[in-house]
Chains A and B, each alone.
Chain A
């Protein structure tokens, strides 16, 4: 944000005294402008002592991290599947039931992160503050749709995680498969779904970070 600073001594003036007076005045005005800017910048909601990192690079790193977490979850689950097929010494095997939580989590991630974030924000602005501008009705309808889709996606994610825990308990722990190489298939399933949930959260935070960044860019 560029602030017009008043330069004192560069003005051609008839006498020394007037020059001195002029530069003192300019310093005063500059100080006043600085004070105003200071109070303007320190008026935030939360007073963190550090600057919140919302640059483009952090966002890029967060998106990479999200991809890494998703792949980690995917391969943790696939490890359980391949282990069940090739190196399994016990009588319990991974069947389609174990796949259902993973599919739910993946669909939930896809749903949550494909929502346009601006729709949520737009609707919140036009419906909560009571401003009914032209097309405000349409906005609130869109926001309602976006919110219900978001709820659906989050429910799928939570359902995936809890479903994997249910599979771990009912299929492994209740039937007394407690020793590690066997129960590892169920634990891997839970860890994989948790990792996918974490990936979704990181991606969501990264995208919201971008929104703040572009917001400050347009102002």
Chain B
């Protein structure tokens, strides 16, 4: 997979993607004068946190020595699944309880998923090139 894209282009396009997600969520709040869906941003910003805290990189040496490493990773995966599902379920529940409209619900869910996927893709792009630190802007 030698797709020759400059890392700077990646950063710019990903930040544009992230801004698009924020735009969608904030629009879903502001168009209907109802600021409940803003909680979705908080959940989707928290969602990548457990995997980055308990991920493989931070526990590399302790993988075979201690049995707690696997448990910590399990906790990370569990919390990730929990947060992502919560982020999708929150607008749906709000829509079902008639707190927000259908349009707002769809926009909020899409925006939240865009935010989460852009964060995940960002960490996925630059995981390999973090070792050589000047590869980012060469």
- Chain A: residues with CB nearer than 8 A to chain B? 60, 63-68, 70-72, 74-75, 78-79, 82-83, 85-87, 118, 203, 206-207, 210, 214
Are B82's CB and A78's CB within 8 A?
no
Q: How far is the CA of A168 from the CA of B82 in the complex (A)?
A: 26
Question: Distance in Å from the Cβ of A58 to the closest Cβ of chain B?
Answer: 12
Question: Distance in Å from the Cβ of B116 to the closest Cβ of chain A?
Answer: 14
Are A78's CB and B93's CB within 8 A?
yes
> Quick one: which of B81, B84, B86, B93 contacts A79, CB cutoff 8 A?
B93
Interface bracket on B: 20 to 34
- Chain B: residues with CB nearer than 8 A to chain A? 67, 70, 74, 77-86, 89-90, 92-94, 96-99
> Quick one: which of A67, A71, A78, A87 contacts B77, CB cutoff 8 A?
A67
Are B70's CB and A210's CB within 8 A?
yes
A60 CB contacts on chain B under 8 angstroms: 77
> Quick one: which of A66, A72, A210, A214 contacts B78, CB cutoff 8 A?
A66
Q: How far is the CA of A207 from the CA of B78 in the complex (A)?
A: 12
Are B93's CB and A68's CB within 8 A?
no
Are B93's CB and A82's CB within 8 A?
yes
Main secondary structure of the interface of A (DSSP, over half): helix
A214 CB contacts on chain B under 8 angstroms: 67
Q: How far is the CA of A79 from the CA of B89 in the complex (A)?
A: 9
Are A71's CB and B70's CB within 8 A?
no
Are A71's CB and B82's CB within 8 A?
yes
Are B99's CB and A75's CB within 8 A?
no
Are B85's CB and A86's CB within 8 A?
no
Q: How far is the CA of A85 from the CA of B98 in the complex (A)?
A: 11
- Identify the closest chain B residue to A213 (Cβ): B70
Q: How far is the CA of A204 from the CA of B29 in the complex (A)?
A: 40
Q: How far is the CA of A210 from the CA of B69 in the complex (A)?
A: 12
Q: How far is the CA of A75 from the CA of B84 in the complex (A)?
A: 12
A-B contact pairs, 27 of them (CB 8 A): A63-B77, A63-B81, A64-B80, A66-B78, A67-B79, A67-B82, A67-B85, A68-B81, A68-B84, A71-B81, A71-B86, A74-B82, A75-B85, A75-B89, A75-B90, A75-B92, A78-B93, A79-B96, A83-B97, A85-B97, A86-B97, A86-B98, A87-B99, A118-B67, A206-B74, A207-B74, A214-B67
Given A71-B86, A71-B89, A75-B85, A63:B97 Cβ within 8 A? no
Question: Distance in Å from the Cβ of B76 to the closest Cβ of chain A?
Answer: 9
Question: Distance in Å from the Cβ of B124 to the closest Cβ of chain A?
Answer: 16
Are B99's CB and A70's CB within 8 A?
no
Given A75-B86, A207-B74, A64:B81 Cβ within 8 A? yes
Q: How far is the CA of A206 from the CA of B78 in the complex (A)?
A: 11
Question: Distance in Å from the Cβ of B35 to the closest Cβ of chain A?
Answer: 15
B92 CB contacts on chain A under 8 angstroms: 75
Are B97's CB and A67's CB within 8 A?
no
Q: How far is the CA of A203 from the CA of B4 in the complex (A)?
A: 41
B81 CB contacts on chain A under 8 angstroms: 63-68, 70-71
6 A-B pairs with the lowest CB-CB distances in the bound complex, closest first: A67-B81, A71-B85, A75-B89, A67-B78, A64-B81, A67-B82
Instruction: Give the interface centre of A64, A74, A83 by most chain B CB atoms within 10 Å.
Output: A64
Question: Distance in Å from the Cβ of B62 to the closest Cβ of chain A?
Answer: 14
